C-alpha cells in the first residue's frame, strides 16, 4: 500500500524517536555500583520498559494509521474495544492478587507490620542481585536458610507474652534481614541475658516508626528497658518526609499503589528474567571506578569481601558541624526525644544503639590498600561535586565517626544510654569474622552475634537494677 505524505512523516518520526531511545544506553558502571539490573547489557529496567512500551505504542499507531476509510475506523474500534475489556480485567485481577501474603506488609497504621501469625521462608544467597556486576566479583557469605515467624502483632516473635523485660526497636537490622529467627540479635541477646526480649523491629522503619510502634505496641508490654537501634545509613529523615507519610498526596498514594502492584512486579520479573542474562558477561567499559570492589579484608583467618554503594560514602563524608544543623538529624532527634519521654512516663529506661554503615566499619581496615583515584571516582558516581582524591580520602576518614559522636553527645545531654557498635564490629572484622554480608548492607549471622554480645555487655549494673530482677 502506498503511504500518504503524512503517513511517511509519521513513520519517520516513529523510527527516529525509537532509534534514539534504543541507541542511547544507561551508565552501566552506575547501574553496577547500585546493584541495579542491566537489561541487554546496556539499559536499566525503567529505561528498557519505557523503550518497549513506546515501541509497542508506535507499532499500534502505525497499525491504525496505515489504513484508510472504513478500515481506518474499524481498526480504531478494535483497539478501543480491546482496551475497554483488557484494562478493567487487569485492574480487577491486580486488586484480588493484593493479599497480605503477597505484599508481606499490612499498612493500616503508621506502625505497619507483617501479617500476624505468618511464616516466611527464604534461602539467602550472598551475591549481587543484578546479573551484570563487578568485573572482579568474589564469593560472599555462605548461603543462609531463613525462617521468619510473626506473632499476633505481626512482628518477629514466636508468640506474645503479657509483659517483657526488654523491648528492641529498630528497622531491618533489628528484625533481622536475611537471617533466621534464632540468629537476629534480639533473640541472641535474650539467650545471653536470660531476659525476655520483644523484637519490635520492622524492615523499613526509622525513628518516626520507632516512636509509633512503641506507642502502639510497646507501651502495653511494660518493659523496663527499651533499646532503640538507629541505623546511620538511612534512619535520618526530614520533617517533610514524615509529613508526606502522614498526609500523602493523591499522586503519592497512586504511585505507592502502582509500585506494589503484583501485576507490575510480575512484568518486571519477566523482563529481567528474559533480558538481563543477555550481555551480562560482556566487558564493562570504563570500569576503573568499580574494579577494586568488592574490597578484601585480609587476616590470618583468610579473606572476606565487602562492597557498598557510592551514596554510603557520601553520607559518611558529612562533617559533625553540618550534621548537627542538618534537618535530617534535627527531625529524628525530636522523635527520639519524644520516645525517651514516653519511655520515662512508662517507667522504662531508653538506650540508643548506633548501627554503623558497612563502610564505616570496613574502611579504616582497608584504606591503605585502596586505589585512591578510583575510590574517589566511585564515590562521585551520580554526583561529581567532590574534592580531589587525596583530599577526599583524608576528609572521609577523619569524618567517619562524625554522626556517631553527635548522637552520643546528644544522648549524654538527655541522660539516654548510648551503645556504640562500631568498635565491636570492626574488631571482629579485623580478626577475620565476616560481620556484614558481602553484597548486602545487613549483618550476617556472625554480625548479629557480635551485636548481641556487645549490647549485652553494655547493659551495666544500673540497667540490671532497673529490671528489678
Q: What is the pLDDT of residue 238?
A: 87
The cell 523485660 sits on which residue?
165
Q: What is the pLDDT of residue 459?
A: 84
- Report residue 303 as a C-alpha cell: 579473606
CB 126 within 8 A of CB 141: yes
Q: Are strands 144-149 and 119-124 parallel, antiparallel or unpaired?
A: antiparallel
Cα 114 to Cα 256: distance, rounded to the nearest angstrom: 17
Cα 313 to Cα 317: distance, rounded to the nearest angstrom: 6
pLDDT band at 257 (very low <50, low <70, confident <90, very high): confident
pLDDT band at 256 (very low <50, low <70, confident <90, very high): confident
Please say if the pLDDT value at position 146 is more than 80: yes
**Domain ranges across the chain:** 119-245+279-467
Q: What is the pLDDT of residue 446?
A: 98
CB 221 within 8 A of CB 199: no
Please say if the pLDDT value at position 154 is more than 90: yes
Mean pLDDT of all residues in 384-395:
92
The cell 570492626 sits on which residue?
426
Cα 62 to Cα 74: distance, rounded to the nearest angstrom: 14
Angle between helices 445-458 and 422-430 (to 10 degrees): 130
Please say if the pLDDT value at position 463 is more than 60: no
Cα 144 to Cα 180: distance, rounded to the nearest angstrom: 8
- Report residue 7 as a C-alpha cell: 503517513
The tens digit of pLDDT for each residue in 326-372 reads 999 999 999 999 999 999 999 999 999 999 999 999 999 999 999 99
Query: In angstroms, what CA-CA distances link 215 with 208, 330, 340?
Result: 11, 21, 12
Cα 212 to Cα 245: distance, rounded to the nearest angstrom: 13
Least confident residue range of 226-235, 268-277, 382-391: 382-391
Q: What is the pLDDT of residue 9?
A: 83
Please say if the pLDDT value at position 469 is more than 70: no
Q: What is the 3-state secondary structure (H, E, C) of 125-190?
A: CCCCCCCCCCCCCCCCCCCEEEEEECCCCCCCCCCCCCCCCEEEECCHHHHCCCCCHHHCHHHHHH
Q: What DSSP state is assigned to residue 221? A: G
Q: What is the pLDDT of residue 104?
A: 80
Share of the chain above pLDDT 90, in %: 78
Q: What is the pLDDT of residue 61?
A: 86
Instruction: Give 119-245+279-467's CATH code, choosing from 3.20.190.10, 3.40.50.300, 3.30.930.20, 3.40.50.1110.
Output: 3.40.50.1110
Rg over CA atoms, the chain = 26
Q: CA-based angle 87:91:94, to the nearest 5?
A: 140
Cα 336 to Cα 421: distance, rounded to the nearest angstrom: 18
The tens digit of pLDDT for each residue in 28-60 reads 999 999 999 999 999 999 999 999 999 999 998
423 against 238, higher pLDDT? 423
Handedness of CA 51, 57, 61, 62 (dihedral sign): positive
Q: Are strands 197-199 and 302-306 parallel, antiparallel or unpaired?
A: unpaired
CB 299 within 8 A of CB 428: no
What torsion, rounded to 10 degrees, do the Cα atoms 126, 130, 135, 139 define?
Answer: 10
Q: What is the pLDDT of residue 369?
A: 92
Residues in contact with 277: Cβ distance below 8 Å, sequence separation at least 6, in sequence order: 131
Q: What is the 3-state secondary structure (H, E, C) of 295-306?
A: EEEEECCEEEEE
The cell 580478626 sits on which residue?
431
Least confident residue range of 5-9, 43-47, 54-58, 385-389: 5-9
Amino acid at each position: 500500500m502506498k503511504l500518504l505524505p503524512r503517513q511517511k512523516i509519521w513513520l519517520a518520526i516513529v523510527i527516529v524517536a525509537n532509534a534514539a531511545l534504543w541507541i542511547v544506553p544507561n551508565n552501566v558502571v552506575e547501574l553496577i555500583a547500585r546493584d541495579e539490573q542491566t537489561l541487554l547489557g546496556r539499559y536499566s529496567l525503567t529505561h528498557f520498559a519505557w523503550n518497549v512500551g513506546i515501541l509497542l505504542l508506535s507499532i499500534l499507531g502505525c497499525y491504525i494509521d496505515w489504513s484508510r476509510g472504513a478500515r481506518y475506523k474499524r481498526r480504531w474500534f478494535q483497539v478501543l474495544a480491546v482496551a475497554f475489556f483488557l484494562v478493567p480485567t487487569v485492574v480487577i485481577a491486580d486488586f484480588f492478587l493484593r493479599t497480605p501474603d503477597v505484599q508481606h506488609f499490612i499498612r493500616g497504621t503508621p506502625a505497619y507490620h507483617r501479617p500476624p501469625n505468618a511464616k516466611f521462608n527464604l534461602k539467602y544467597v550472598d551475591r549481587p542481585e543484578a546479573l551484570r556486576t563487578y568485573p572482579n566479583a568474589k564469593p560472599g557469605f555462605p548461603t543462609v536458610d531463613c525462617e521468619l515467624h510473626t506473632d499476633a502483632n505481626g512482628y518477629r516473635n514466636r508468640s506474645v507474652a503479657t509483659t517483657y523485660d526488654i523491648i528492641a526497636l529498630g528497622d531491618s537490622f533489628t528484625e533481622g534481614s536475611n537471617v533466621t529467627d534464632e540468629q537476629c540479635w534480639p533473640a541472641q541477646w535474650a539467650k545471653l541475658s536470660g531476659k525476655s526480649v520483644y523484637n519490635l523491629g520492622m524492615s523499613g522503619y526509622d525513628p518516626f516508626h520507632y516512636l509509633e510502634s512503641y506507642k502502639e505496641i510497646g507501651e502495653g508490654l511494660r518493659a523496663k528497658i527499651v533499646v532503640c537501634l538507629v541505623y546511620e545509613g538511612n534512619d535520618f529523615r526530614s520533617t517533610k518526609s514524615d509529613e508526606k507519610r502522614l498526609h500523602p498526596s493523591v499522586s503519592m498514594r497512586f504511585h505507592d499503589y502502582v509500585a506494589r502492584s503484583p501485576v507490575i512486579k510480575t512484568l518486571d520479573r519477566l523482563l529481567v528474567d528474559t533480558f538481563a542474562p543477555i550481555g551480562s558477561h560482556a566487558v564493562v567499559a570504563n570500569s576503573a571506578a568499580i574494579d577494586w570492589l568488592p574490597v578484601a579484608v585480609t587476616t590470618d583467618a583468610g579473606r572476606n569481601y565487602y562492597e557498598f554503594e557510592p551514596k554510603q560514602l557520601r553520607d559518611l563524608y558529612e562533617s559533625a558541624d553540618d550534621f548537627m544543623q542538618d534537618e535530617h538529624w534535627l527531625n529524628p532527634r525530636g522523635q527520639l526525644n519524644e520516645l525517651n519521654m514516653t519511655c520515662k512516663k512508662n517507667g522504662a529506661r531508653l538506650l540508643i544503639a548506633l548501627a554503623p554503615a558497612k563502610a564505616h566499619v570496613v574502611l579504616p581496615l582497608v584504606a591503605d590498600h585502596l586505589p585512591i583515584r578510583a575510590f574517589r571516582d566511585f564515590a562521585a558516581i551520580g554526583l561529581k561535586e567532590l574534592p580531589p582524591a587525596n583530599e577526599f580520602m583524608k576528609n572521609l576518614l577523619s569524618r567517619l565517626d562524625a554522626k556517631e559522636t553527635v548522637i552520643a553527645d546528644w544522648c549524654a545531654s538527655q541522660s539516654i544510654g548510648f551503645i556504640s557498635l562500631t568498635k565491636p564490629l570492626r574488631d571482629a572484622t579485623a580478626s577475620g569474622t565476616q560481620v556484614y554480608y558481602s553484597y548486602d548492607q545487613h549483618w550476617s549471622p556472625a554480625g548479629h552475634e557480635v551485636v548481641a554480645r556487645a549490647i549485652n555487655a553494655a547493659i551495666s549494673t544500673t540497667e540490671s537494677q532497673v529490671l528489678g530482677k
